[in-house]
Amino acid sequence: MRFRLGLTGSIGMGKSTTAQMFAEEGCALWDADAAVHRLYAKGGAAVDPMREIFPDAIVDGAISRDHLRAIIAADPTALPRIEALVHPLVRQDREHFAAAQDGIGVFDIPLLFETGAEAEMDAVACVSVPQDEQRARVLARGTMSAADLDRILSRQMPNQDKCAKSDYVIFTDTLDHARQQVVEIMTDIRSRQDA
């Protein structure tokens, strides 16, 4: 792969939609959440190692996210142990993808800075909206409570810190504005490659 762009941002910021815009601009797209789903699925690379440390997390030959959440809630040592198992497998999946691609790749990684994956990128773009807009978007989905959202955000680097560490910030206030910024970033990356 000739250029790796890390794409990050907290929940509700519009990262998945923005990632698709990069794909429409001709980028190969790797999605960390999709990689975790592959690893957790029946026959996935995380299933047997997880069975050894948390056998109750395995349901019908796959890792149950609901059971993992219950384990994490009951055992304060569980999350670091799960991350120590899963993060290297995710990195391996990412490297396999990168080795098979040529051109500009976009790596959709919510915890890019938290996991140190920015070191593997040529540049980083962070999606952003004001905090009140983020909360409204997430809570409108009806899939989590305000307390659930606060718990997720407490484990992530603050948005302003992610933006400050990024080469590009994409404001996703409207689809048109986000798309315009994606096009500008692609123009910049291509001009850097041609230089």
AA letter at 26: G
Query: Running DSSP on this structure, what letter comes out for residue 14?
Result: S
Q: Specify whether the CB–CB gap between 121 and 109 falls below 8 A.
A: no
Full strand arrangement of the beta sheet holding 168-171: 28-31, 104-108, 3-8, 123-128, 168-171
Does residue 1 carry a pLDDT above 60? no
Band of residue 192 on the pLDDT scale cut at 50, 70, 90: confident
What is the per-residue pLDDT for 163? 95
Question: Model confidence over 156-165: pLDDT tens digits?
Answer: 899 999 999 9
Name the percent of the chain lying above pLDDT 70. Answer: 99
Does residue 133 carry a pLDDT above 60? yes
| Domains of the chain in sequence order | 1-27+105-195 (3.40.50.300), 33-102 (3.40.50.300)
Rounded Cα distance, 67 and 65, in Å: 5
CB burial readout 39-56, b (16+ within 10 A) else e: bbeeebbbbeebeeebee
What is the per-residue pLDDT for 150? 84
What is the per-residue pLDDT for 41? 96
